[in-house]
Chains A and B, each alone.
Chain A
Amino acid sequence: MNRVSRFVVRRLMHGVVLLLALSFLSFALAQWAPGDFYSNLRADPQVSAATVSGLRAQSGLTRPLPVRYIIWLTGLLHGDFGYSLAYHGPVAALLPERIASTLLLTATAVLLAWGLALPLGIWSAAGRRGWLDSLSTAGASLLLAIPELVLAIALLSLAVETGWLPGGGKVSRAHDAMGALARFGDVAWHMVIPVTVLVAGLAPVLMRHVRAALLETMAAPFALSTRAHGIPRRRILFRHLLPAALNPIVSLFGVSLGTLLSASLLVEVITGWPGLGPLFVEAIMARDFALVLSVVMLSAAFLLLGNLAADLLLCRIDPRIRRAEA
């Protein structure tokens, strides 16, 4: 087993331990918040307390915490994500479409954000003091300062007032009657506001980090020496500086990958996009344990895999790391 696979295995084992600890902490936290799924029924004058306690007992909510944790954990190890109290069915059935919707949103936003941030960040660091550079830096700062949620609400208000953009959701009323191409366009049109909000929150941060990473390498002695050698600026930038600055950039990309499931939570809730976000928030408010924990575990797994992917990529491209892991 070569070095890289050993590295991967070690990281995966760390990941499993982390996920276990996370699962236990989340389970305990879930218990802390008072009230449970059936508290709503308890407040309904038409339902007797006996029915509510019967339901609680049937769902196993009265069993002690460690017992419930073990039961849930063994289920999870067999691939059973648990039973949703709200939907009266297995959690696993609820997730695929929602995950797909969320990934559609975040993947698009991540691609767009990187597509904007990388070139703009490089350009800005390269020192071209043009009007475009000032504009983009100023714009990035402004976007960073505007709270994401306020931006979302402003855009939605505009959409509702003018009707240029849909006021939420993923598909229009006439979606089923549309042809394949029209359907694609319909979903894309609905994605405009949430993706804009996500990119507005993501791109400025990325751009600044890319710029900072490049500036840092520019200050390094080897960069000065390349200038002294008379190598043309563009070649210095792309051949010498960018590869050296890749370390933090690739880590950042790993974080982008890792937060694919969780980054859009609030935006989805505000714009009514049918992804994991609204499902998760509603499940928390309803104390639908199995659903909440499954989403938490999935998001955490994504985080770990994203970081792992970034580290593997770094191993590939940065010889310093390859040597360090030896």
Chain B
Amino acid sequence: MSPNLGRTFTRVLSPSRRVAGCVLLLASASAAESKDVLVVPGITGTPGGTLVYAQRSEAKTLNPLVASDSASREVIQRIQADLIHINRATGETEPALAKSWTVSTDGLHYTLQLREGLRFSDGQPFDADDVLFSFQAYLDEKVHSPQRDLLVIGGKPIAARKLGPYQVAFDLPGPYAAAERLFDGFAILPRHILEKPYRDGKLAEAWSLATPPAQVAGLGPFCFKRYVPGQELVFERNPNYWKSDAAGTPLPYLAELKFVLAGGEDMQVARFEAGESDLISRVGPRNFEALEKRRERRGYRLADAGPGLEYSFLFFNLNDLAASTSADLTARQAFFRREAFRRAVSLAIDRDALVRLVYLGRAAALTSPVPRGDRLWLDSSLPSLVRSVPQARELLAADKFHWAPDGSLLDPSGRKVEFSIVTSSGNPERVQMATLIQDDLKQLGMTVHVAPLEFRSLLARVFDTHDYEACVLSLAETDFDPNPGTSVWLSDAPNHFWHPEEKVPATPWEGEIDTLMRRQMTTLRFEERKRLVDRVQEIAMEHLPLIPLLTPDVLVAANGDLLNFHPALMEHNVLWNVEELSWKSPAR
């Protein structure tokens, strides 16, 4: 109690009121001490120490509303917290800032009970107004947050309503499967700091890395301490964090979390080996082998968490192109559209060689366009794709393809089957896969050119001008649940790679997939959704708009002295439980 306040009280109030006032103040003071803490069972650790993590590229901003690159998201999620969080180890939702919630019977209204007594890292209290402000900002069309579209269901945004100082209701415009998973990753922002820039229309420029640390606040395990451009970004322990371990020790254990810029995967590995960093996530298979060789010498831990949530695929240009585009391309589309052609290509691809030579065995061949790490949703009844060049040739012959005397394949109209595969030149694994596929398809008599393009030029060709023939690309799912990725399957969606934004489904099976995907998005029961998604996979494997290739394993490494290290398949593979990480003996 400040001395001034005391003097005011003694002057203004009568003695009895004075006593009541003091009691009230004391009560509120102790109430502020008691907050709704989340106890994390089963972990122990010693407080203290610094963890250094080397990033491939530099984080660009601390603003969750505008961050679009993975390096920024990597750091932002360590200083922010969300309402309902998906536990990366189990894949299930768990309470975060919302300590409990109820759902209406029709599934359209979620009432969330927020934790009470929490404070942001700068000491200001957290309540429902912060939640409402955050969602208002995320949904505001003028802010153009990349996360906004996750909150738009069937063209209509979800609405947030305040029910009380610690109670918020969310109204969905229509039934949505696994709606509570929506809240993961939506950082709850401090209204007391960001409301003014929001009103001034300058929210996008807020919280750049040059911002003074005192002006950045969050509810995450760490808070912003210092930034040295091009070198390091330092976070320190958030004293107001709302988690503790079973023994009552407040989390996080670590005193400091440092992100340093390594500049590339090889640099990351070099730093890790030299002991300059303590964790690596998503190492490439060759570097992993190199690390494996030196493990005894240096004493770090390596882990292969198995196939992850990324999947690579080959697809052909099935767009309806304007008459002005290249005549070659339009003519080639004639055989791209033939399903026998695509099936033959899929049969001829040696996925085992891809796994063995490109990923050194640390990948899993795909049976359907769902990443192998998504065991829950993968249709396990689909047979694995066995390579068979003779069967591929039969398929082609049955569809009236034939071979010229020199062995090259000709389509039914006599045209030589020749095309190019574009892929990102910056991703050596994909270029290698394209090269191996090129050689595989030569056995069918197809002439394939590999054209590595710089990534953004590639994207412009595939999505904007549609000026490409075939492409090898990969997608990284962010969740086990198929909902965030539906934009690939809906025929009128912009990410329907092979033929985006169709006004009407171009083929009956694409129409069927549309219906199935839309239904599973609004079906609330898991068994029924699984049936629908399985059917989509069956259709996809029959008609092959995407020819699935493989899913790489998640390869990580950590310092041997790190406790509670549990790599996960969902991002962030190693830092998802950074608040639980601890050093065996924090002399570091």
Q: Which residues of A contact B (CB under 8 A)?
A: 33-36, 39-49, 51, 54-55, 58, 86-89, 93-94, 97-98, 101, 156, 159-160, 163, 166-173, 269, 272, 274-275, 278-279, 282, 285-287
CB-CB under 8 A from B475, the residues of chain A are 45
- Say whether A87 contacts B263, CB under 8 Å: no
- Say whether A34 contacts B460, CB under 8 Å: yes
Query: Is B255 interfacial (CB-CB < 8 Å)?
Result: no
Central interface residue in A40, A87, A269, by most chain B CB within 10 Å: A87
Given A35-B456, A48-B152, A166-B274, A272 contacting B208 (CB threshold 8 A): no
- Say whether A163 contacts B205, CB under 8 Å: no
CA distance A222 to B274 in the complex (A): 60
Q: Which of the residues B66, B232, B261, B493 comes within 8 Å of A88, measured between beta carbons?
A: B66
User: Can you report 26 residue pairs joining A to B where beta carbons are below 8 Å apart?
Assistant: A39-B460, A39-B463, A42-B463, A43-B459, A45-B485, A45-B487, A46-B484, A48-B487, A86-B60, A87-B61, A89-B61, A89-B209, A93-B210, A97-B229, A97-B230, A160-B274, A167-B271, A168-B263, A168-B271, A170-B231, A173-B258, A272-B262, A272-B264, A282-B57, A285-B455, A285-B456
Instruction: Report the tally of A-B residue pairs with Cβ distances under 8 A.
Output: 160
Q: Which of the residues A42, A46, A58 comes within 8 Å of B149, measured between beta carbons?
A: A46
Task: Using CB atoms, name the residue of chain B closest to A55.
Answer: B144
Query: Is B148 interfacial (CB-CB < 8 Å)?
Result: yes
Nearest 5 interchain pairs by C-beta: A274-B230, A35-B456, A167-B270, A35-B460, A34-B460
- Say whether B230 contacts A98, CB under 8 Å: yes
CB-CB under 8 A from B209, the residues of chain A are 87, 89
- Say whether B267 contacts A163, CB under 8 Å: no
- Say whether B275 contacts A173, CB under 8 Å: yes
* Beyond known contacts A34-B456, A34-B460, A58-B144: 13 more, CB 8 A cutoff: A35-B454, A35-B457, A35-B460, A43-B459, A43-B462, A43-B463, A44-B495, A45-B485, A87-B209, A93-B210, A160-B270, A163-B274, A168-B270
Task: Using CB atoms, name the residue of chain B closest to A269.
Answer: B263
Query: Is B228 interfacial (CB-CB < 8 Å)?
Result: yes
CB-CB under 8 A from B205, the residues of chain A are 88-89
Given A35-B460, A98-B229, A168-B271, A41 contacting B210 (CB threshold 8 A): no
Within the complex, what minimum Cβ distance (angstroms) separates A188 from chain B? 16
CB-CB under 8 A from B61, the residues of chain A are 87-89
Task: Using CB atoms, name the residue of chain B closest to A153.
Answer: B266
- Say whether B204 contacts A88, CB under 8 Å: yes
- Say whether B459 contacts A168, CB under 8 Å: no
CA distance A44 to B150 in the complex (A): 12
CA distance A89 to B354 in the complex (A): 42
Interface residues of B in 451-476 (CB under 8 A from A): 454-465, 475
CB-CB under 8 A from B456, the residues of chain A are 33-36, 39-40, 285-287
CB-CB under 8 A from A269, the residues of chain B are 263
Central interface residue in B152, B273, B459, by most chain A CB within 10 Å: B459
Within the complex, what minimum Cβ distance (angstroms) separates A116 from chain B? 28
Task: Using CB atoms, name the residue of chain B closest to A97.
Answer: B229
Task: Using CB atoms, name the residue of chain B closest to A156.
Answer: B270
Q: Which of the residues B230, B264, B273, B457 comes within 8 Å of A101, measured between beta carbons?
A: B230
Query: Is B276 interfacial (CB-CB < 8 Å)?
Result: yes
CB-CB under 8 A from B459, the residues of chain A are 35, 39-40, 42-43
Query: Is B171 interfacial (CB-CB < 8 Å)?
Result: no
- Say whether A88 contacts B271, CB under 8 Å: no
- Say whether A46 contacts B274, CB under 8 Å: no
